[in-house]
Structure 1
Amino acid sequence: MDGLTVIGIVVAFSAVIGGNYLEGGAWHLLINYPAAIIVLGGTVGAAILQTPKNILRRALILLIWVIKPPLLSQKKTIKQVVSWAEIARKRGLLGLDTIIASEKNIFIKKGLQMLVDGTCAAKIKQVLENDIILLKQRDNDAAGFFESMGGYAPTVGIIGAVIGLIHVMGHLGSPQELGPALAIAFVATLYGVSMANLICLPVANKLRAHVNRVAIWQQLLVDGISAIAEGDNPKAIEARLSGYCL
């Protein structure tokens, strides 16, 4: 699990709850189920309404990256590429067939297959870089789902506040019912703003950071596989890729 994610969540919500406590408020005053239903349901529903099914599916898949980001090591990948170059140098490109058979990553598998098939370096680079652009766009669109939730949440919170005020106006003759109605009004606004700024927008930005990291890792592979296709020796490839570790 990503420790920084846990730290961020704890610090953010501790600040809100702790600030409320220091102001003399009780923590249970921040709990209001009708307000939570309005804000959460309205926000999620609006975001789903604007999102195509394939992007929504991808967004749910990417959500795990918030707590369990993709394990990518530039140094290990460079060593892996250098080992491919050594195999190609000793046994020829067909020697990479066994690696392709056991490789699970689709991007790597595609690049190595093109290499074994004798595709020129320029063509390999063109095809794989086009894949990087398309994959990055797809994943950024998926991260945009959570960004859209961050945009809708405060507005839905205001809707909850208006609903609460409507109830207040309807119970002016019953003072005992004014408290709960006012609570929905103010807590809904708090939920909307908090959901946007403490959860949705940070999640979207974190996912975009991971998307960029994956794209850089894929570009490393493109440069490495292209270098093998050009016939560069393993040491030269290692030197060429070392910049990715800076």
Structure 2
Amino acid sequence: MDFTGIVGLIAGIGLIIFGIMGDEGSIALIRFIDVASMAITFGGTIASTLIAFPISYFKRIPSQLKITIQKNRYDPQHYIETIVDFAKEARKKGLLSLEEKANQQSDRFLRESVLLVVDAIDPDKVRDTLDNELDCLEERHSQGWQFWEKSASFAPAFGMIGTLIGLINMLANLNMDSSAGSSALGAGMSVALVTTFYGSLAANLILTPIGHKLHMRHNEEMLCKQIVVEGVVAIQAGDNPDHIERRLKAFLNEKKRDYDVHGGTAGAEGERVGRSKKKK
């Protein structure tokens, strides 16, 4: 598991509590607990998200949260090594020899990509088929992180709405009780601002980071799948395995490239992250 997200959340909450308590201790913390403010901020955020997205998006929340705490399952170096092994096998025994090895792969996309080549489908159709699948995958994944990012935009808005409600009530009470002094005004103002605090906290410590983590996991997966696409197309074209390896290593960050292999750099494509393909 990837515990960095959990550690970050606990650390963030802990530091905020530490900052709130300061020299006053738990007494100061009580000022930041207001049930009505929680209802307005969190309830309003959930309500707006329900309006913006169908219920099916909410059903995906457990699986999406699971993704954020799982270790990255996609290692580009592993995919490059696998593709190079396929290329060497094809060069020695022909494309048909790849079928048995392809069926042993646990990654469905890799398995089906190699089988497309084995079936001797036109190279342009192979690329079009795989690129179309990646387009559909990207569309599905984008729905996930957009759900969290949109929710993050709602939270501060409802925090501000709660603050406005609190200010209106506070000013109305002051008008009814003109004897109330500056101390009453300060107390009412602090309660009104708690909702803004809740909204900012929810957006910046929970919702936005989850959306970003999902987007990052998507990019990691898409990078490996793009390596597969380029690799199988190169295998079908009969490219030299060494050339294929150099070409695919261009997808890696500079620090991850193995410069000792075949004594060369990977080329200009190294800055590529995620998917970057030409639309046809």
Instruction: Answer yes or no: is 1:233 the counterpart of 2:235.
Output: no
Q: What corresponds to 2:33 in structure 1? A: 31
Report SS of the residue matched to 2:120: coil
Q: Pairwise mapping of residues 92-103 of structure 1 onto structure 2 (< 5 A)?
A: 92-103=94-105
**Structure 1 vs Structure 2: percent identity of aligned residues?**
30
The Cα of 1:117 is off from its aligned counterpart by 1.0
Q: Is the 8 A contact 2:31 2:191 kept in 1?
A: no
Instruction: Answer yes or no: is 1:189 the counterpart of 2:196.
Output: yes
Report SS of the residue matched to 1:2: coil
Q: What corresponds to 2:261 in structure 1? A: none
Q: What corresponds to 2:4 in structure 1? A: 4
Q: What corresponds to 1:63 in structure 2? A: 65
Q: 1:187 to 1:23 in 2, by over 3 A?
A: farther
Instruction: Structure 2: give runs of 5+ residues left out of the alignment.
Output: 254-280
Q: 1:150 to 1:218 in 2, by over 3 A?
A: same
Q: 1:95 to 1:192 in 2, by over 3 A?
A: same
TM-score (norm. length: structure 2): 0.74
Q: What corresponds to 1:82 in structure 2? A: 84
Report SS of the residue matched to 2:73: coil
Q: 1:52 to 1:87 in 2, by over 3 A?
A: farther
Q: 1:73 to 1:227 in 2, by over 3 A?
A: same
Task: List per-residue Cα deviations over 1:194-245 (Å, max 9, x = no partner).
Answer: 1012211222222222222222211111111111111123222212211122
How far apart, CA to CA, are the structure 2 residues paired with 1:148 and 1:136? Answer: 18
The Cα of 1:118 is off from its aligned counterpart by 0.9
Structure 1 letter corresponding to 2:4: L
TM-score (norm. length: structure 1): 0.83
The Cα of 1:73 is off from its aligned counterpart by 0.9
How far apart, CA to CA, are the structure 1 residues paired with 2:133 and 2:229? Answer: 10
Q: Is the 8 A contact 1:59 1:143 kept in 2?
A: no
The Cα of 1:95 is off from its aligned counterpart by 2.6
> Which deviates more, 8-17 or 40-49?
8-17
How far apart, CA to CA, are the structure 1 residues paired with 2:48 and 2:135? Answer: 28
More helix, by proportion: 1
Instruction: Structure 1: give runs of 5+ residues left out of the alignment.
Output: none
Structure 2 letter corresponding to 1:208: H
The Cα of 1:63 is off from its aligned counterpart by 3.0
Instruction: Answer yes or no: is 1:206 the counterpart of 2:210.
Output: no
Task: List per-residue Cα deviations over 1:140-170 (Å, max 9, x = no partner).
Answer: 2220111111111112223333454566557
The Cα of 1:119 is off from its aligned counterpart by 1.5
Instruction: Answer yes or no: is 1:21 the counterpart of 2:21.
Output: yes
Report SS of the residue matched to 1:30: coil
The Cα of 1:54 is off from its aligned counterpart by 5.2
Structure 1 letter corresponding to 2:220: R
Q: 1:67 to 1:78 in 2, by over 3 A?
A: same
Structure 2 letter corresponding to 1:143: W
Q: 1:238 to 1:54 in 2, by over 3 A?
A: farther
Q: 1:58 to 1:17 in 2, by over 3 A?
A: same
Match of 2:153 among 144, 151, 154: 151
How far apart, CA to CA, are the structure 1 residues paired with 2:221 and 2:31? Answer: 43
Greater gyration radius? 2
